[in-house]
Amino acid sequence: MVLEEENQQNTTNNNIYEFPPIEILNVPQKNKSNIHEISDNAATIQKGLYNLGVNAKVTNVSIGPVFTIYEIKLAEGTRISTIEKLKNDIAYLLSAESVEIIKIPSKSLVGIQVKNKERQNVCLREILNSDKFESNKSNLIVAIGKEANGNIKLLDLKESSNILISGSTGSGKTMLLSSIICSILYKANPNEVKLIIIDTKNGVESNFFMNIPHLLIPPVTNIMEACAVLKWIMTDLQNRYNVIVEKNCSNIDEYNQKTEITEKLPEIVVIIDEFEELCESEFKTEIEELMFNITRSAEKVGIYFIVATTKLESKIISGRVKSNFLTRIAFKASFVIDSQLTINSPAAKYLLGNGDMLLKEKWSDKCIRCQATFVSDNEINKIVDFINLANADLINNNNINNNLLDIEQNTNSELIEDSHDEEDPLLNEAVEYVIESGYASTSCIQKKFKFGYARAGRIIDQMEERGIISPYRGSKPRGVLISKKQWDEVNNKYDSKIHTENIEINKSNENINQNDKSNIMEGSEIVEEEKISFIKILLWIFLFPVMLIIFILKNNNLSGWKKAIIIGAIVWVIVYIFS
């Protein structure tokens, strides 16, 4: 049903999305590195290596936000291991805490990586304003940050598939997620890309993006709601797959490029922060099964997952779920095992924190060290405020304020499933509205009756089951299969049938009531008889012994055999009563 809502929004929404201007973002800081100091360090490295018996030449210096890399050309016959053994000596020459020896990719050079004295943030404006970002035609290109050498790093979600982000609390995971969302807001039209944000821990950061037109549903902050959302995504994935296969296409890109397609399928980016909260809940088994089934085939139908977590133990997040996340990002890890589970390397344990991260791209064995993009709360508020003001019509058409999933009215996930089989009390009114309008869709039902998406979807399903509307047909609206006259005839027959059934039920109830009355009277008589018998027994049990004792005490002159006869008679009477 989510797929139909997406297509209906695209069909009814003819407004043009106005992108936020780059000028509302903070201006990046100027590089505070001292050029003279860097030149002196380059000369010191070259001279120091010569004194240590290594003939090398510094060919280039790359200044990054956190590190400065001195690229050196080794003389022929010099091994890289020779330089690696001299790390501590080089750090001593530069008065640095430590240095790292790295290989420069695609170059026959070795890099000496030295930490800068002053660290700089990577501003979002600097990334979005770059030629690399602006010239990229993908609407799912997102800002990641800068590499250690200062090069801008971007990721295309279409190529990266699903992304798994790990790191300790405060290491920069949520900030990176905010940067990714802002990148989409600057690059993608809401008719082309939809967002689903799930943050069940506190939901504070996700509330910044409330009401933006890209949201398919409001940010989800409840675990039970998140489980329901994943179920709907699974249904939407199957619907998308069927629609794509019908057009003999293998993926969403081929489908959207078909000339006969009137409306393209929007791509969906699902962002989940603090994923361990879902995996440690009572719905753990169900959520893991849904995540595994969705993520293994979601890329082909245009659904992409970005999941952030602080815990990666197999008892919390199973290995088969992680196997579908081929792009990995590791921020500073609390333990070596967390780094190992993310990028198959302990290196994340030794990162600096505050956005320092390692990126392992899809199908790559090597990690790229980057400084994540920083976007402040003030910048996010400016972006969202501009979008809300400039694109008010888009937001109203998107029906975000109506709580699209109707989850508040269905706080129990089992109740949501069971309610599909019950006829909605407003079904008749909805049918009459659909017949009058001449077409049916979830969004039109939702707008007319002012309730949530899930209930509107169930009404549409019930109409289809009764043959009132046509089955789902991709981007085309559903047709109405009956006329007003036919519906009135069906309704009258149904009402008369209900009336007849009610009369029969009332008659049977009267018969049952009469039988119940007679049964009650008979039962009361039996109870009265039992009470009388019980009282008689009590009297015989307590009175006869008392009378016997009084009689014997007053007649001491009775002989023994007479007393025995009297006692025997009393005992016989008591036994007779009990029998």
Percent of the chain with pLDDT over 90: 25
Q: Are the C-beta atoms of 477 and 440 separated by less than 8 Å?
A: yes
Token pair in block for residue 75: 């003389």
* pLDDT, mean over the chain: 79
Pairing of strands 439-440, 478-479: antiparallel
Each residue's pLDDT tens digit, 183-199? 999 999 998 999 999 98
Helix (H) and strand (E) counts in the chain: 22, 16
SS3 (DSSP) at 202: coil
Which of helix, strand or coil describes residue 198?
Answer: strand
Token pair for 536:
């008689």
Q: Per residue in 263-272, pLDDT tens?
A: 788 999 999 9
Q: What is the pLDDT of residues 90-123, one digit of tens each?
A: 999 998 888 998 888 778 889 999 998 888 889 9
Chain-centroid distance, C-alpha 399 = 20
The CA distance from 129 to 510, in Å, is 81
Of the two residues 448 and 395, the one the predictor is more confident about is 448
Q: What is the pLDDT of residue 495?
A: 56
pLDDT band at 521 (very low <50, low <70, confident <90, very high): low
In this prediction, residue 77 has a pLDDT band, given cuts at 50, 70 and 90, of confident
- Write the pLDDT tens digit of every residue in 9-56: 444 444 688 999 999 999 887 776 678 888 899 999 999 998 988 888
- Interval 209-216 mean pLDDT: 86
Specify whether the CB–CB gap between 359 and 367 falls below 8 A.
yes
pTM for the whole structure: 0.68
